[in-house]
Amino acid sequence: KDYASGSLKAFDFSQLLKNIPELNQLDCTISSFAFEHPIDSSNMNPTYWISISDIIAENYNDYDGFVVLHGSDTM
């Protein structure tokens, strides 16, 4: 969230290993993908779920696992 404007802002995962150095102890490669524009969880729908599943399918053979993070303010 951009606290000045109140608008949604994508989390910068490029700094994840810098901010959580303990992750470097894991014997794995961590990479990330984010949609260009954040999606408010109240706007999630099957179209986005299909996009997420397509991204996983396209990268399935390159990784051992996937973690999908999303907001939960409408749960």
Q: What are phi and psi of 70, to 5 degrees?
A: -155, 165
**Per-residue model confidence (pLDDT) at position 74:** 54
**What parts of the chain have a pLDDT lower than 50?**
none
pTM of the model: 0.70
Sign of CA dihedral 18, 29, 65, 47: positive
**Per-residue model confidence (pLDDT) at position 47:** 92
What is the C-alpha separation between 9 and 72, in angstroms, rounded?
15
**Per-residue model confidence (pLDDT) at position 59:** 95
